[in-house]
Structures are given as structure tokens and as C-alpha cells.
Amino acid sequence: MRTMVHPIRLAVLATILGFNTLAMAQPADGRELGFAVSTAQDGDLAAAIGRAQAACMSTIHISIGWKELHPDTVTWNADVLENLDLINLYFAALGVKVELQIGPVNTVVDQLPIELVGLPYDDPRVIRDMQRTVDTVFAHLPDVELAALNISNESDAYWGTDLITYTQFGNMMQTIVPYAKAHYQTSHGDTLSVGTTFTWFGLTDPQTASLCQIANAYSDHISVTYYPILNDFTVKPPSAVIQDLALLVTMQSGPQPLRLAEIGCPSSTTCVSSEAIQAQFVEAAFTAWDQHMDRIPYMGWFLLTDWDSATVDTLGTYYGISDPVFLEYLRTLGLRTWQDSGMDKLAYPTLLCELQARNFCATNCVNAVAEEEMEQMLIFPNPASGKIRISGVAIKDGDPVQFISMQGRRVSILPFAAEMDVSMFAPGAYMVRMADRPPIQLLIVGW
């Protein structure tokens, strides 16, 4: 996901730094929580940072496009450099670390400086310019502590199954990882973890998981973005995060820790979701995190506050996607609303309660999760190997019942009947949905 911290104006910086801020959150059992911080309509960055700190934020997620910083091999964007200077002053003063992301790809958008476009990632010119970029970025962040550095973002969405490209990128990382670590050790006197960010789909799909491993061969950690969505940008059941993170840990079973650079869930009904479903996702995400805390030391929540429609339209153009479901997915990822000063959705107080229960920091926990007022689908038998019966939902014979793989691929659509035969499905887990509306239920076939 493309985001950069809201620009901080010099005229108000001193005022913001004069505010009384919460002490840096103490991670629970070594775990840390981060946020991509966005402001409400009022643009009050200090208030947004305060709400993130109230939710135990120890790290802020900041992403910079390589060509936005460095349009060509001789030019640096002065506005981006000034913003880095302000980020350094602001977050060093607050005691908040930065999870920094920069690199040649952002999801489906090429971010190479103009003269480097078309060159392989392991070309000496690309490597040399990335080293210069690391030098420049570190020079403008001399005081703030980096929680991690990720080179490139969600690149699997751009590279697909191109073995050569993953291999070339891995070759580049073989040089860049030790270079960045040595520079950071010299300038900060501390160790830096360096990696690259792939999507959950890329790291768990058998067609790309091994390719991502090639690219990650020299990384200190494996960085991942996770959103519980299907291919049509509608939302999986909240409990799916438990199976999804278990699959991630299984598929990426090497020694490197897994960093959830981005995790979030939209709340729009257009995405077959709601505030209650988003809040239930928060609960399930922490349950999954507890189960894999030995492999997942960091969770970065995306997004603090909803984006406004104009920002979402700009992002839709950036990604080249105009699908209204996708745009609503982007628009409602926040734990708070955008209008005026923003209001907490159910997910924000739920997050506070989950953090308090694990002693991340002192939070103001008011349990506000509402029970979802919707039908409860029942599938019997489950697990199944032959015919199934579905009850508990208002649906008539012949209405479409969708069967969707855990990777979000629609496997089959069957007409609803008293009994439906699933014996032709390959063994595995499937999500079952009636038409395009909730609820969604998990079905295990063949076990």
C-alpha cells in the first residue's frame, strides 16, 4: 500500500513537539506495534499521532517511492528531503521508531529513476544508485531509530512468476543488505534489519512462494502485507486471519522473522464488511499473533484513519484500478472515520482492549464490540467429503452459492438446494458465501 506520513510544516513543528506525549510503548513479550498514521479532515497530525500512541505505537510506517525521491540519477526531490528532515526531528523527539520502505517497485508501479528503467535489478548502475539513495536517506535521518528498512513493496504483484526478475532482485539484495547495515551501524551504532515486502498472496501461493524465497535469500527478515480480502476485494470472515497467518508461517518456514508491515481490514458494506466485522478482525488478528509470536515480532496496523474520497481516487489512478469495490476497500481501512475530526469505529476501542489484555501499554479500554446483526450460516457436515446441507440463512432454491479458495479464487458457484455435492472439490479449505453478501463460512473438504 502506498502511503507517506503527513507532511509536517516547520511553522507548527515546535508547537507539536511542545505537547505532552505518552511514554514510548513497551512491547509485550518483545512484540512491537506500528501504525500507518493518517489524519482526519481537520488535518490535525498531533491528534492523530496522539491516538496512535494511545494505542501503544512504538513504530510508524513510512513509505517513499524511489523515483519520487530521486526522479533521475542526478536529481533529488527537495520537498521529500525536507520531509525526511522533519520526520527525523519529530519522531526522534517523540521516541518513536520508523519502519522505512523505499525501493524500485510499489505494488504494480515501477519506481526506478528514469535512466534505470528497463535495467535488471542486479545491474551495477542500479545497485550503485540504490547505495547512493541509502546514503542520502540515512544522511537525512541521523537521529531517528529505524525499526527496519524494506527495499521495495509488494513486488510480487508486479513481477508475477518471472523467475529471472526475482533472482536479479535477490542478487541486488546480496549487496544492498550488508551495505545498508554497515552504514547504519556506523551512523547509529546499532544493528539494522533489512528486507523486502511481499504480499501474503505472493508468500503463500505455491506458484510464487519459492520465488519470494529466492528474493529473500539475503534478507534479515521477511516483510509482508496482509488484508483479509478475496480477489474481488470483498472481505473474508474475520476468523480467516488465523488460518492465513498459520499458512504464512508454514510456507515461509525459514529462520527469518516475519514482520507484518501492513495489516488491516476495510469496514465498507460494499466490501461485504461492517464496523463490527472489522472489530472482530482485530480480535482474531491478535489471537493469530499470539499463536505465532515467536515468528512474528512486529505488526503494523494500516490504517489509523480513513482516507478521503479525493485521496482514494488519486490512488485508484495510481494503481490503474477504478473498480468501486477496490476504492471502497481503500477508503475504509481506517480504525477511525475521516469526516471533521474523525470518530472511532468499533475497531479502535477493540484494539485498545486487545493491547491492554496483553500489557502492551496502559490503554483506555472500553469494550465496544457489537455483535454482528446478521444471519449465522451453518454447514453440516463440516468437514465434508460428499454432500452438504446449509441452514440458518434466508436463501431460496437456485440462488448462487459461491465456493472460494483461501487464496481468493472463486472455485465454483452452485445453485442452492437442500443438499449440494462438493465431492468434486480438491481437499482443502473453502469459504462459502451466498451471492455477494454476508455471512461467510469456512468449509473443510476431503478431511
Residue 374: per-residue pLDDT: 46
**pLDDT tens per residue, range 237-265:** 999 999 999 999 999 988 999 999 999 99
Whether 404 and 345 map to the same domain: the answer is: no
**pLDDT tens per residue, range 349-373:** 999 999 999 999 988 887 655 444 4
Residue 299: per-residue pLDDT: 97
Asked whether the predicted pLDDT for residue 23 surpasses 50, the reply is: no
Asked whether the predicted pLDDT for residue 148 surpasses 50, the reply is: yes
Domain termination site, one of 357, 386, 413: 357
Residue 56: per-residue pLDDT: 95
Residue 293: per-residue pLDDT: 94
Average pLDDT of the chain is 89
Is the residue at 364 inside a domain?
Answer: no
Asked whether the predicted pLDDT for residue 21 surpasses 50, the reply is: no
pLDDT bin (cut points 50, 70, 90) of residue 392 is confident
Whether 176 and 320 map to the same domain: the answer is: yes
Is the residue at 4 inside a domain?
Answer: no
Residue 432: per-residue pLDDT: 87
Whether 409 and 351 map to the same domain: the answer is: no
Whether 134 and 48 map to the same domain: the answer is: yes
The domain that contains 406 carries what CATH number? 2.60.40
Domain termination site, one of 287, 322, 357: 357
Is the residue at 372 inside a domain?
Answer: no
Whether 336 and 431 map to the same domain: the answer is: no
pLDDT bin (cut points 50, 70, 90) of residue 51 is very high
Residue 447: per-residue pLDDT: 60
* Alpha-carbon separation of residue 271 from 1, 100, 316, 377 (angstroms): 17, 29, 16, 19
Instruction: Report yes or no: 101 and 63 within 8 Å, Cβ to Cβ.
Output: yes
Asked whether the predicted pLDDT for residue 8 surpasses 70, the reply is: no
Residue 263: per-residue pLDDT: 98
Whether 389 and 336 map to the same domain: the answer is: no
pLDDT bin (cut points 50, 70, 90) of residue 375 is low
Domains contained in the chain, number? 2
Asked whether the predicted pLDDT for residue 10 surpasses 50, the reply is: no
Asked whether the predicted pLDDT for residue 11 surpasses 50, the reply is: no
CA distance 138 to 183: 8
In this prediction, residues 170-178 reach a mean pLDDT of 98
The domain that contains 144 carries what CATH number? 3.20.20.80
Is the residue at 207 inside a domain?
Answer: yes
Whether 343 and 273 map to the same domain: the answer is: yes
Whether 310 and 411 map to the same domain: the answer is: no
Is the residue at 371 inside a domain?
Answer: no
Whether 328 and 396 map to the same domain: the answer is: no
Is the residue at 140 inside a domain?
Answer: yes
Is the residue at 3 inside a domain?
Answer: no
Q: Percentage of the chain with pLDDT > 90?
A: 73
Is the residue at 236 inside a domain?
Answer: yes
Domain termination site, one of 357, 389, 422: 357
Whether 384 and 292 map to the same domain: the answer is: no
Whether 352 and 382 map to the same domain: the answer is: no
Asked whether the predicted pLDDT for residue 340 surpasses 60, the reply is: yes
**Could you tell me the residue range of the domain that residue 29 belongs to?**
10-357
Whether 245 and 389 map to the same domain: the answer is: no
